[in-house]
């Protein structure tokens, strides 16, 4: 079954404690991206990757890092989380960036 | 810059048709999508349309595109309670016209009353 898997689904953490949200896809897609969803703002792209070792900033990259060492994995790293990063995060993958995107189930992050 | 706008809320009765509207500003938009998000779930692609098309029908779903007015609509015929969800309009451009990304609207919450 084609899937994008994110972990964890829910996370509560404290300000400044580094965390990683993992994302894995089994469709051999080249393009992966991270979005955050906030009320009234829709989804905004944080970072994207067009292939292994190729990443670039999206619309709201401040405070986030990513890496793409393998084609299937695209972790999102918050080196020093702050309360304004409390949000619902989605990972997505697609064969090309402008075609149908498959989304993970989401990770609800709360930073206190 | 690009912008995609939707109304925030729509309420219909079961069995009626629902029409969700979306406007976008990027004239180079090539692909336009409708995604559905049910509570606690990720986004599910419902349908999409290329910018050189005016209409696309897929079972109960009809997508209309007015490229001149940059207006996209999604019509759901015979709306059911299971259609209650948030619907997102999104646009993207072909890779040679800029950064590859989907630009989403803020979502329309559809409430279907029995």
Share of chain B above pLDDT 70, in %: 90
d(Cα B75, Cα B56) in Å, to the nearest integer? 10
Which parts of chain A have pLDDT scores under 50? none
The pLDDT of residue B4 is above 70: yes
Share of chain A above pLDDT 90, in %: 76
- What sign results for the dihedral spanned by CA atoms A81, A84, A88, A93? negative
The pLDDT of residue B1 is above 60: no
Q: Name the residue facing B42 among A42, A48, A103 (closest C-beta).
A: A103
- For residue B20, CA distances in Å to A49, B1, B43, B67 come to 32, 23, 17, 16
| Sequence-ordered list of residues with C-beta below 8 angstroms from that of B58, at least 6 positions apart, any chain | B47
Residues of chain B contacting A98 with CB distance shorter than 8 Å = 30-31, 92-95, 100, 102
Q: How many CB pairs under 8 A join A and B?
A: 63
Closest CA to B61 of B48, B70, B52, B51: B48
d(Cα B31, Cα B50) in Å, to the nearest integer? 5
Which SS3 state, helix, strand or coil, does residue B97 take? helix
Mutate: best of B41, B42, B47, partner A, most A CBs <10 A: B42
pLDDT of residue B28: 74
The reply to whether residue A98 touches residue B43, judged by beta carbons under 8 angstroms, is no
The pLDDT of residue B100 is above 70: no
Residues 54 through 83 of chain B touching chain A, CB cutoff 8 Å: none
């Amino acid at each position: 079954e084609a899937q994008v898997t994110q972990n964890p689904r829910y996370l509560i953490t404290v300000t400044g404690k580094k965390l990683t949200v993992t994302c894995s896809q089994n469709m051999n897609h080249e393009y992966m991206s991270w979005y955050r969803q906030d009320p009234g703002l829709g989804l905004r792209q944080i970072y994207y990757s067009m292939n292994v070792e190729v990443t670039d900033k999206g619309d709201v990259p401040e405070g986030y890092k990513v890496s793409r060492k393998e084609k299937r994995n695209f972790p999102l790293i918050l080196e020093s989380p702050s309360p304004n990063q409390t949000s619902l995060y989605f990972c997505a993958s697609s064969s090309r960036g402008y075609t149908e995107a498959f989304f993970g189930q989401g990770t609800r992050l709360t930073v206190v | 810059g690009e912008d995609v706008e939707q109304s925030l809320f729509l309420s219909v009765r079961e069995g009626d048709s629902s029409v969700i509207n979306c406007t976008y500003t990027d004239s180079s938009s090539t692909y336009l999508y409708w995604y559905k998000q049910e509570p606690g779930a990720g986004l599910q692609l419902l349908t999409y349309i290329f910018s050189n098309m005016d209409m696309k029908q897929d079972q109960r779903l009809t997508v209309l595109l007015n490229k001149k007015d940059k207006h996209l609509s999604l019509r759901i015929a015979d709306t059911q309670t299971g259609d209650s969800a948030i619907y997102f309009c999104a646009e993207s451009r072909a890779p040679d016209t800029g950064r590859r990304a989907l630009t989403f609207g803020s979502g329309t919450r559809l409430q279907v009353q029995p």
